Structure 1
Amino acid sequence: MRVAVVGLMAALVVVFGVSAFGKARSRAALRGFTASLRGWRVVPGPLVAPVAVVVVGLEVTIVAGALVSLVVPGAAGRVCAAVTSGLAAVLLAALSVGIALALRRGPGATCACFGATERPLTPGHLVRDVVLATACAAGVALALAAGDAPAEPAGVAVAVFAGAVAGLLVARLDDLIDLFSPRPAGRGR
């Protein structure tokens, strides 16, 4: 069970690390995320910018918590993993509600979820966040149920690698979908 938690923590480091970096790498990137969030029309206007900053701050906190949980042994590491997973689940659930409300209002909302590019908000974004939130909620239970015995180093290495790859796939899912989607006729490559 501990190896599954290690894999989840590695995935969270990558997913939330890419997301936070994409949004916080420059003022323009943060403004882009804020504008995207404003377009969802789920947060009152004056609160959009503070909410955007809080989201980025929570993402950084999740990355830090996941990293700490990977290096701190025993019960303290398990508790850190559980708290980090819980925080990630709550953030993802809140984002999922926001996405669902924005989708319900109709087309036009965009997602600057990972900060690099803005794309139309789709049900795929909602599915991604719900699946991640569910995995994080399960991570809370797994972390609390895991024993204090250290996992085998080979298992930890495989879990970190697999989690990091899974996290990268999640973070770049929109790019992968674009890559393999048919392009309309006449559009350049």
Structure 2
Amino acid sequence: MPAHRHGSVDVHYLAIGVRCLIGTVFVVSFIGKFTARGALADLVGSLRELRLLPENRVRTAARLLTTAEGGIAALLIAPSSTLAGLGLGAAALLLTVFAAGIGIAVRRGAHAVCACFGPSQVPLGRRHVVRNALLAAVAVTGIAASASTSPVSPGPAVVAAVSGLLTGVLITRLDDLFDLLFPSAGPTGR
């Protein structure tokens, strides 16, 4: 069966890379909220500061959000392309909700911290909206690429997977990198 190609890139390898990238982001987010002391409390505080939910729904929303992130990570790790497609769809939806919610809150002047990957002192800002919107677009691209049924070669598959993993790790550390490279710009990203 001929490989499905878009330009010179086999889309199946693109799907592998996207699954690894988005999967890494969600795994790090899920683990960061469960392994760091006080991480869930920080998430509750951040959601409270966003002022998007009624006070009596914030703690439940934090638990549901963390559970959804873990579920998405599990779907993306699953060997089934159907489950991975569901995971990418759920990731795209959740990331779009994150981008919209953070955008609304930042425009209103909320001063919540980014509890995206565990405890943090970095205030949410425009760069977090952009990050989540771009990740949502990448997830949608992964859904389209996941439709490919072409056979894969181990070498390119490993390259795609490692590229996705490294990019995912880089994305989870963007706030640290931004502050390292642009310390005079301040931590807000606004």
TM-score (norm 2): 0.87
Distance 1:183 1:96 in 2: 25
Distance 1:11 1:90 in 2: 16
Q: Is the 8 A contact 2:36 2:118 kept in 1?
A: no
1:99 Cα offset (Å)? 0.3
1:119-166 CA-to-partner distances (Å, cap 9, x unmatched) read 11110000000000011112112112x11x331100110011000010
1:46-70 CA-to-partner distances (Å, cap 9, x unmatched) read 11111111111111111111111xx
After TM superposition, the structure 1 = structure 2 runs for residues 4-153 of structure 1, keeping only pairs within 5 Å, are 4-26=14-36, 28-68=38-78, 72=79, 77-144=80-147, 146-147=148-149, 149-153=150-154
Amino acid at match of 2:58: V
1:116 Cα offset (Å)? 3.2
Distance 1:86 1:47 in 2: 25
Percent identity for Structure 1 against Structure 2: 35
TM-score (norm 1): 0.88
Distance 2:174 2:43 in 1: 18
1:4-49 CA-to-partner distances (Å, cap 9, x unmatched) read 1111111122111111111122561100111011100011111111
Aligned in 2, Cα 1:182/1:119: closer, same or farther, shift over 3 Å?
closer
Q: Is the 8 A contact 1:15 1:171 kept in 2?
A: yes
Q: Is the 8 A contact 2:36 2:119 kept in 1?
A: no
Distance 1:62 1:158 in 2: 23
User: Which ranges of 4 or more aligned residues in structure 1 deviate by more than 6 Å?
Assistant: none
Unpaired stretches in structure 2, ≥5 consecutive residues: 1-10, 186-190
Q: Is the 8 A contact 2:77 2:84 kept in 1?
A: no
State the SS of the aligned residue for 1:163. helix
